[in-house]
Amino acid sequence: MGEMMGDELLRIENLHVSVEGTSIIKGLNLTINRGEIHAIMGRNGAGKSTLANVVMGHPAYEITQGTIHYKGSNIEEMEVFQRAREGMFLSFQYPAAIPGVQVGTFLRKSVASVRGEAPPPREFRKELKNAMEQLSMDRSFLSRYVNQGFSGGEKKRLEILQLLLLQPDLALLDETDSGLDIDALRIVAEGINSVAQNTGCLVITHYQRLLDLVKPDVVHVLLDGKIVQSGGPELALKLEDEGYDWVEALA
């Protein structure tokens, strides 16, 4: 895929998605350009995680109508790992544990896969050290097994560590703030901000508190599989104060 000078990364048009025959997303439109942070807010079950998963290519989600374009190409047929190699990244709400695979090995192999070649060991060690320091992560993380026995906060930190190392073009961050205390939230937010300039970010969250730290350019309200309202950061504040009832009334 060629670089788009207009820097449109993601264009979703009239997207309809079902899971096991149940329709979840029902006509969604969204465009994200490089350097933009978009927040998606909405109640449980509105389709937020489905949106992140379907963009990443989860096989359980079926696109029944509409298109997703990434860097100008329709990606419906593109495999998950190819999307990753093309610079797409999903920070998981519930990342899977991979028993027996050490974090250090996993990171090195993932960086090699996404970059298309193994990084020189010494440079990679340095890169890793810096990123872990930025996230206040102890070196002992590297010898633990991926997400096994991790606390919620540790899992999220590992996701953001990968975000820093993989330097994606498009980052889908699915409830990265859940399960974090305020200090951890600040560290994670700084991590996101440090890549956001060159990345298009889709930040999925329930809460305003992450958006105090990661300033969105656009806030979207997702209701029953559709974006019903979009606006600036003030929209997130309004949702925080007034809840979602008024949005429902609009819809």
Contact residues toward another protein (CB under 8 A) are 56, 58-60, 79-81, 83-85, 89-90, 92, 94-101, 106, 109-110, 113-114, 145-146, 162, 166
Token digits of residue 163: 């975000």
Contacts with 119 (C-beta within 8 Å, 6 or more apart), sequence order: 108, 111, 112, 127
Residue 47 Cβ vs another protein, minimum distance, rounded to whole Å: 18
Nearest CA to 67 among 79, 54, 58, 50? 54
Residue 51 contacts residue 16 (beta carbons within 8 Å)? no
Closest to another protein by CB, 146 or 247: 146
What is the C-alpha to C-alpha distance for residues 175 and 85, in angstroms, rounded to an integer? 23
- Cα-Cα-Cα-Cα dihedral sign, residues 178, 236, 229, 223: positive
Residue 143 Cβ vs another protein, minimum distance, rounded to whole Å: 11
Residue 127 Cβ vs another protein, minimum distance, rounded to whole Å: 16
Closest to another protein by CB, 98 or 142: 98
Closest to another protein by CB, 106 or 207: 106
Closest to another protein by CB, 162 or 199: 162
Q: Which residue intervals of the chain are DSSP H helices?
A: 48-56, 80-85, 103-115, 121-134, 152-166, 182-196, 208-213, 233-242, 245-250
Closest to another protein by CB, 66 or 95: 95
Q: What is the dihedral of CA 114, 119, 124, 127, to 10 degrees?
A: -50
Residue 199 Cβ vs another protein, minimum distance, rounded to whole Å: 16
Residue 48 Cβ vs another protein, minimum distance, rounded to whole Å: 17
Residue 60 Cβ vs another protein, minimum distance, rounded to whole Å: 7
Closest to another protein by CB, 145 or 207: 145
